[in-house]
A and B are shown apart, each in its own frame.
Chain A
Amino acid sequence: MAKHILAALVENRPGVLARVSNLFRRRSFNIDSLSVGRTQRENLSRMTIVMESDAAEADRLVKNLYKLVDVVHVDHLHNQPSVARDMALVKVKASSENRREVIQLCDIFRARIIDVAAESLVVEITGEEEKLGHFTELVRPFGIVEMVRTGVIAMGRGSHTLKDQGYKPNRGRSSSRRSVL
């Protein structure tokens, strides 16, 4: 068992996300996180999928993703040098007594405080999943009021880029279809 990070380029067509998530459910893939967003190409979105599994299972997921017509390319980022980032917004309880302590922790983790209220702070923190884990463990004693994470996004280093297979949008395709949802 290991952590596998897959990156997939998909066409922006209605229902793509449903197709991908249905695949996870239907073939019982255990997914840790999935994030979706736009790319530099108008008609392509990029998904980052993180799963805890053995290599054969990750391979099975790659092949099944390729079976989806709207999936243009899939890369197993595990097999190449890559960078991965996760982001969290954490609302931490912070009274006048312990506010300083929280701020110190934020400094150490290079986290930013983006909202200050009488009883709490909202902290923005970016980094590898592990770093976010450590940070939340350390602020937990102060009291985490709420928290949200984006899920991992990742990219190969240097010349390792996700091929778009010479992608050209189909004629007549650009008009009404933009959303992956």
Chain B
Amino acid sequence: MSDDKAATNAETLAKTLEAGAGGSAGACEQANGEADIRAEAVVLTGAEIVCECLLREGVDIVFGYPGGAILPTYDALTRYPQLHHVLTRHEQGASHMADGYARATGKVGVAMATSGPGATNLVTGIATAMMDSSPIVCITGQVPTGAIGTDAFQETDVTGITLPITKHNYLVTSIDELAEDIREAFHIARTGRPGPVLVDIPKDIQIQTTEFVYPTEPVTLPGYKPPRRGRADQVEAALELIRESRRPVILAGHGISMANANAELAELCERAQIPVALTLLGKGAISERHPMCVGMMGMHGGAEVNHAIQQADLLIALGMRFDDRVTGNLATYAKGSRKIHVDIDSSEINKNVRVDVGIVGDLREVLRQLLDRVERRPNDAWFDRIAEWRADSELREIVRPADAPRHPAVSEGKLLGAQVIRDLFELTGGNAVTVTDVGQHQMWEAQYYQHERPHSLITSGGLGTMGFGLPAAIGAKMARPDQEVWAIVGDGGFQMTSMELATAVQEKVKVNIAVINNGFLGMVRQWQEFFYEERYNQTPMVNPDFCKLAEAYGIPAIRVTERGQIEDAVNATRAQAGGPILVEFVVEKEEIVFPMVPAGADLDDMIRRPTPAEFEQKRRERAAAKATPAETDAEPEPVAPAAVAGTRFGV
């Protein structure tokens, strides 16, 4: 059949679809129009089948970049105006945008790329999505079936490359399986423990034609049956442990929001009076202003939170995976506690931490099972103890209101990255969707921007991917145009994907970009300060003028160098309409993220910022030591890494 004929068919089909779905792209509604479509099956090209399938999966935006092996599909896209294609400036941007889109909505994000270099450029974004269980589907072009395995031009074994970083992947081997493969890909990406799925489509299959039948029955895969309810005996055992506990802590992870179990979590902790500690991706699982929420745990978590975990007699881990960044040294982790672990992925249970009760199931279902039976009880003594630890943390706090007395570690007039985030939090009323990059600014975001709603913090937790922030923010904003979206990025990571500024301009995406410019790969510099005797090798950066860079893209930009300027800049940024805007915050270069659990150390063995009193004491000791120089010229004693942390105990 000729190409023209196929095009006509596609148009008819698209119209039928629209009529059947009342113009909406909702996947469920479209299933209603199915009967008529199947009645008069049409012949379509593989490329058109891809588009048809995307529409039926509820896709409205595709992030991608064209090239030879995917060109038939790009050509077909012209006949599907309901699918809005966003041209990124690098395929990595496309996979991060799809990821940001997915994390902001819970819907599957879609990225598209050509074979070879296009496909390999997606890889970092796929690995990022895998580590954080984000549902994306990547569609790549492949060299024609007959050329596979011959090292053809732009051939790469992308299903091989992505085998360990996808939940599943497909190399389409026949046009008759194309629709089914794509349908399965979406099903696998969004159900169970979500994750990225890649579908690699040889060019000849995109060009071939076949009768398009879209199966109406639900996808059934014999080897894939996501669990739902928890086993009753295990739920019973968990309730028993909760009843017996005096110092319980809930560890809430990303799974809570992914399972829409936020209300259930709130009810559980209120009823049983259990403090809730959050992982980085767990932020938003429960409002951080909720009286039961104690804050973030782990390497840069609150000291009071880490103490509570170490002193607990029961940990209830919900949709989290005991990552080394939250446990520290496993040998000493929460030694005195019994443990309950609820997760949808059975392989997470007993992976890092051995637990007393492991429940495999959908968190919302399992929490409901627990809620049926969990008893009310007071727990004041335990909360009082946590409050004492918190009071100590507050003494050490440097982020304070402008009229409060300064912590002596902060000299007058310094603009602190941490302070920028706290002011941004206050000026946006805590209501923005924030998307971070990776580094110190990410940890300040986690510490000082309190989130109330699920899906309101988007950050690369598991892989820690620099360059994630800007593209993910663009994806998030396109997914949720009604939301205020801030990209909070470091000067290092921003430069890894700053070319996506052009994408934001082309698409008129109103994303607010806060560049926290400390002139350093700050987080690495911090490690060098603590653990490598202040040898700052390859961490200072000569940066471009970020405001001029923005302006080169036609993006308005504001530079902030003092705390007093933050409010005006943020307000002006929020007021700006119609496209991206950038604010560069030129912050203190050598600020430290406190507290810090050194990698592999015990969770409660934290490097803390000194209290004002400790700080003054050290200052006096130093002055005294300078006044009476040592009389011998003996070798100075070697300094242990932990002690080095004390040599520059400033911000």
Q: Is the CB of A67 within 8 A of B180?
A: no
Q: Is the CB of A19 within 8 A of B222?
A: no
Q: Is the CB of A70 within 8 A of B223?
A: yes
Write the chain B residue with the least CB distance to A23.
B164
Q: Is the CB of B223 within 8 A of A72?
A: yes
Write the chain B residue with the least CB distance to A43.
B222
Q: Is the CB of B160 within 8 A of A69?
A: no
| Contact residues, A35-91 vs B (CB, 8 A) | 56, 59-60, 63-64, 66-73
Among A10, A59, A168, the residue within 8 A (CB) of B350 is A59
Q: Is the CB of A69 within 8 A of B168?
A: yes
Comparing A102-110, A127-135, A169-177, the segment that makes contact with chain B is A169-177
Q: Is the CB of B222 within 8 A of A168?
A: yes
Bound Cα distance from A66 to B177, whole angstroms: 24
Write the chain A residue with the least CB distance to B349.
A63
CB contacts (< 8 Å) of A177 on chain B: these are 173, 177
CB contacts (< 8 Å) of A176 on chain B: these are 173-174, 177
Bound Cα distance from A10 to B349, whole angstroms: 24
Bound Cα distance from A11 to B180, whole angstroms: 16
Bound Cα distance from A73 to B225, whole angstroms: 11
Write the chain A residue with the least CB distance to B176.
A172
B578 on the A face (CB < 8 A): no
CB contacts (< 8 Å) of B628 on chain A: these are none
Among A11, A56, A63, A172, the residue within 8 A (CB) of B223 is A11
A14 on the B face (CB < 8 A): yes
Bound Cα distance from A117 to B223, whole angstroms: 49
CB contacts (< 8 Å) of B221 on chain A: these are 69, 170
Bound Cα distance from A173 to B181, whole angstroms: 10
A18 on the B face (CB < 8 A): yes
Interface size on A, residues (CB 8 A): 33
Shortest B180–chain A CB gap in Å is: 5
Shortest A2–chain B CB gap in Å is: 18
B632 on the A face (CB < 8 A): no
Bound Cα distance from A171 to B177, whole angstroms: 9
A98 on the B face (CB < 8 A): no
Shortest B358–chain A CB gap in Å is: 10
Bound Cα distance from A13 to B650, whole angstroms: 60
Q: Is the CB of B220 within 8 A of A170?
A: yes
Max chain A Cβ within 10 angstroms of own Cβ: one of B163, B173, B220, B347: B347
Known: A18-B160, A64-B347. A71 touches B180 (CB 8 A): no
Q: Is the CB of A69 within 8 A of B177?
A: no
Shortest A45–chain B CB gap in Å is: 12
Q: Is the CB of B171 within 8 A of A69?
A: no
Among B160, B167, B180, the residue within 8 A (CB) of A170 is B180
A30 on the B face (CB < 8 A): no
Bound Cα distance from A66 to B227, whole angstroms: 12
B345 on the A face (CB < 8 A): yes
| Contact residues, B159-217 vs A (CB, 8 A) | 159-160, 163-164, 167-168, 171, 173-174, 176-177, 180, 188, 215
CB contacts (< 8 Å) of B163 on chain A: these are 15, 18-19, 22
Q: Is the CB of B351 within 8 A of A172?
A: no
Q: Is the CB of B222 within 8 A of A56?
A: no
Write the chain B residue with the least CB distance to A170.
B180
Bound Cα distance from A170 to B221, whole angstroms: 8
Bound Cα distance from A35 to B240, whole angstroms: 44
Shortest A62–chain B CB gap in Å is: 9
Max chain A Cβ within 10 angstroms of own Cβ: one of B160, B177, B180, B345: B177
Known: A22-B164, A69-B168. A167 touches B222 (CB 8 A): yes
Q: Mark B266-285, 1 if CB is under 8 A from A, else 0.
A: 00000000000000000000
Additional A-B contacts beyond A11-B222, A164-B222 (10; CB < 8 A) = A15-B171, A56-B350, A63-B347, A66-B223, A66-B347, A69-B221, A69-B224, A171-B180, A175-B176, A175-B177
Q: List 5 A-B contacts (CB under 8 A).
A: A11-B222, A14-B171, A67-B347, A69-B223, A170-B221
9 nearest A-B residue pairs (beta carbon): A63-B347, A72-B223, A167-B222, A69-B168, A176-B174, A69-B224, A72-B222, A63-B346, A71-B223
